[in-house]
């Protein structure tokens, strides 16, 4: 889902050259992109969003990453031993203190506790330090054109254009992981449209730079997935299964839960 610290540890990109090749001829990409432009316009995307397609070219680097992903077969002890570290624990606590009013208001509104939000924020991007540098529109267009999973990425491309069109992120600043995840919370564009929150009230749902927006948006996604107010998040407790809405991996969820517990000082 991301090239952030957690997914960088979950995946390795070591594809053989043959596996990194596209299953479609890149020469057909410009004509295909013209069709996307017409489709987006018919779907209500305005000139600002359509302009995000200008100059977009096929990205072989994105294809190489897509073909090269392999899940590490690690034990929870091995994985969490690296991911649940002193930096993330201390930084998570410091940010909860810094944004105490935001976290308190978000928890009152959604029921999602601050340590869980901080844990996801830290594991996804080290609290915004590693959001990725792939051009989102270019990556999503490439993956939509490719024959491997167009049904997954085609709607995400249209949603990314919609985000640009509504003014939340300029196309020039829309960058993140190779598979299209955006911002400090690494939301796919569809989740950005569903759950991103303009908490700081500046008129933009800015998950690239606004910590209050990031905090509130993470909580909103978990709330929508059924987060139970006041319930625990460890394995066997009610909210552990809710974390599945974020990522289906049990290894991931156990690591999120452990880091949250350490941040909470338990």
Mean pLDDT of 210-229: 98
Q: Which residue has the higher pLDDT, 244 or 21?
A: 244
- Sign of torsion over alpha carbons 111, 114, 116, 120: positive
Asked if pLDDT for residue 70 goes beyond 60, the answer is no
- Residue 207 is classified by DSSP as T
| Residues 6 or more apart whose Cβ sits within 8 Å of residue 102 | 199, 211, 212, 215, 216
Whether the per-residue pLDDT at 107 is higher than 60: the answer is yes
Q: Where residue 82 falls among pLDDT bands split at 50, 70, 90? A: confident
Alpha helices, H only, 69-210 = 76-83, 86-98, 100-110, 114-125, 136-145, 150-165, 189-195
- Label residue 229 by pLDDT band (50, 70, 90): very high
Give percent of the chain above pLDDT 70.
90
- What's the pLDDT tens digit per position in 31-69? 999 999 999 999 999 999 999 999 999 999 999 998 876
Which pLDDT score, from 0 to 100, does residue 76 have? 82
Query: For residue 207, what pLDDT band results from cuts at 50, 70 and 90?
Result: very high
- pLDDT at residue 10 is higher than 60: no
- Distance, in Å, from the CA atom of 44 to the CA atom of 129, rounded to the nearest integer, reads 34
Distance, CA of 228 to CA of 222 (rounded, Å): 9
d(CA 37, CA 52): 10
Does this model's pTM top 0.85? My answer is yes
Residue 167 has pLDDT above 50, yes or no: yes
**For residue 17, what pLDDT is reported?**
38
Mean of the pLDDT values across residues 165-191? 95
Mean pLDDT of the chain, nearest integer:
90
| Average pLDDT value for residue range 191-199 | 97
- Report pLDDT for 80: 84
Distances (CA, A) of 180 to 50, 84, 87: 17, 25, 27
How does residue 168 score in pLDDT terms, banded at 50, 70 and 90? very high
Q: What is the pLDDT of residue 3?
A: 39
Position 11 pLDDT exceeds 50:
no
Quick one: residue 93, left, alpha or beta (phi over 0 = left, psi -120 to 50 = alpha)? alpha
pLDDT of residue 69: 62
pLDDT value for 44: 97
More confident residue, 73 or 111: 111
Q: Can you give the pLDDT at residue 77? A: 85
Residue-wise pLDDT for 118-145, tens only, equals 999 999 999 999 999 999 999 999 999 9
Q: Three-state SS for 251?
A: helix
């Amino acid at each position: 889902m991301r090239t952030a610290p957690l997914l960088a540890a979950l995946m390795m990109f070591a594809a053989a050259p043959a596996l990194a090749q596209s299953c479609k001829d890149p020469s057909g990409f410009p004509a295909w992109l013209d069709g996307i432009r017409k489709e987006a316009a018919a779907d209500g995307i305005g000139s600002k969003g359509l302009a995000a397609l200008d100059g977009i070219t096929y990205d072989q680097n994105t294809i190489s990453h897509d073909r090269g992903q392999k899940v590490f077969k690690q034990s929870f002890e091995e994985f969490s031993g690296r991911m649940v570290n002193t930096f993330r624990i201390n930084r998570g606590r410091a940010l909860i203190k810094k944004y105490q009013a935001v976290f308190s208001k978000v928890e009152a509104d959604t029921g999602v506790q601050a340590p869980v939000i901080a844990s996801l924020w830290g594991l996804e991007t080290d609290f915004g330090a590693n959001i990725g540098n792939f051009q989102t529109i270019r990556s999503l267009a490439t993956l939509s054109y490719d024959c491997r999973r167009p049904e997954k990425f085609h709607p995400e491309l249209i949603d990314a254009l919609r985000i640009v069109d509504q003014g939340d992120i300029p196309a020039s600043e829309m960058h993140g992981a190779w598979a299209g995840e955006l911002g400090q919370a690494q939301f796919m564009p569809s989740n950005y449209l569903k759950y991103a929150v303009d908490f700081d009230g500046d008129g933009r749902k800015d998950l690239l730079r606004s910590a209050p927006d990031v905090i509130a948006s993470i909580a909103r996604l978990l709330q929508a997935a059924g987060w139970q107010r006041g319930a625990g998040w460890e394995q066997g407790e009610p909210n552990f299964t809710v974390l599945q809405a974020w990522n289906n991996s049990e290894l991931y969820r156990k690591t999120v839960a452990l880091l949250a517990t350490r941040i909470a000082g338990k």
